[in-house]
Chain A
């Protein structure tokens, strides 16, 4: 498998490099690096995420987990290295094109549309499934209105499925933190992704709320969506993950099943030892 690292990726649907699928890997990261002002936040990182897995990324604060998410989803461009998604090289593509290919994510620091209602937040998540051209919207064509109504129903269902039924009519700016974390998940699911990246979905939540998020993630994974999870709640990570990649200072420290990673002395020293 030869990949052209850093080759400029032409925009457009036909510009993808087909890759002979070696296994059932949905996502591959190859020799990925990203530096900020000379400091490497991600350094020569390679790993794959198998289709259907819940794959967790762990590591201490500043290990580069969020940076990795930003690189995978196109928010940042890699300094070096390649991201492969669904059989194609995608590094260099803008986030909205990656979304169209089936990636979606939530944010460690809430990124809510506070100028909208909760359900409208989720409906933006359905953008790719709706007609985004100007004139049909401007003239409120009946076909568009009908699809919009369906999108609203779908959004309400998604909100209910993440436990936000009582906020269906709420304005985003009136919702508490825990509900907003779930609103981000509902919005990300609304795009019907193949790969969902969750950046600390349980951060700042109490034990009950964390358990509810845990259930939501399991349900999502059971429906066939591959999940990459960044989370500091080790109980959740160890209980839910199929595989874990541990990072430290932007490099891979260990990888394996939860049991293997938890038993790895480097991980214990670098990360678990500092917890609690």
Chain B
């Protein structure tokens, strides 16, 4: 009767693979400082970590739920400026400002998500693009609050009388937050909510007829990914001490999407790897710095054409093929 096709087991890893991969991530984060000998290297690792946190969140939306956003730098920017303004101008405790930023972004993204996620394809891309553009215009023009195009200085992060200061300290902060982000993402993917998100991507009508409120889950993915970006933005503001509207603009959003697509859609570790590689490469290659937007565009095109699944899933596929052969 039916011919037996080669069966392939992937997708949601069973619990031991899940724990193993988390352990591997922890090991890499813990040992990497041994190789990073100076503050310049640590700085790049920290920036890669911030991008990775945003990308892990964004991947839930793009890779798993199958919805595009070209405006997520806007949410990163709102988080950054919420912390900058509330802490530096109004003297809030940094953790309170971070939470206030996250809640504001959560509410804002929730309100925006309902109408825009009803759109599909190009229209959704355009609408999310609009969000990012509006945020960066507001940041540029509200000079009294934000310092305008020149940006604003941000006080350091103080908690329980401790001041987070210097690359060494921030490396561990970002490492721990990234680990938590990956843990939450892996939890989510292999859960009823995660399956509902993936079902929305796989077939909306099939998801609906077994009881999945697809609109609700799209909104959920959008809000979660926006909050991830906001938290990363808040911490980033304290780390660098200077934030500018450029961190919220269109090019930053494109960069984030490129990291997710390049590293591997629907792969949490792919998103991390994409973020790390595309943060490190520009530092290593000077040509990248001079023509960064062009190189980024080229990488995006190359990925779409030659490895649409992204780097990590493609490599995993090759390894699986080898093993079968």
Contacts and interface: CB of A to CB of B under 8 A. Distances in A.
Given A115-B201, A116-B11, A174-B5, A137 B191 contact: yes
B10 interface: yes
Interface stretch (A32-40, A106-114, A268-276): A106-114
A117 B11 contact: yes
B38 to A, nearest CB: 37
A230 to B, nearest CB: 15
A13 to B, nearest CB: 14
A100 B205 CA distance: 15
A136 B193 CA distance: 9
Interface string A95-137: 1101110011101000111111100100111011011111011
Interface stretch (B207-215, B255-263, B272-280): B207-215
B187 A99 contact: no
Interface string B195-232: 11011011101111111111000001000100000000
Interface stretch (A164-172, A231-239, A248-256): A164-172
Contacts of B199: 113, 116, 124, 127
Contacts of A188: 209-210
Given A96-B212, A114-B202, A124-B212, A140 B192 contact: no
Interface residues of B, number: 39
A166 B4 CA distance: 9
B7 A171 contact: yes
B12 interface: yes
A76 to B, nearest CB: 11
Interface footprint category on A: 35 or more
Interface stretch (A19-27, A57-65, A84-92, A175-183): A175-183
Contacts of B210: 99, 104, 124-125, 127-128, 187-188, 190-191
A246 B317 CA distance: 49
Interface in A162-221: 166-167, 169-171, 173-176, 178-179, 184, 187-188, 190-191, 206, 208-209
Contacts of B266: 115
Interface string B1-31: 1111111111110000000000000000000
Nearest to A99: B211
Interchain residue pairs A-B with the least CB separation, the first 4: A113-B202, A137-B191, A99-B211, A111-B206
Interface of B: 1-12, 184, 187-188, 191-196, 198-199, 201-203, 205-214, 220, 224, 266
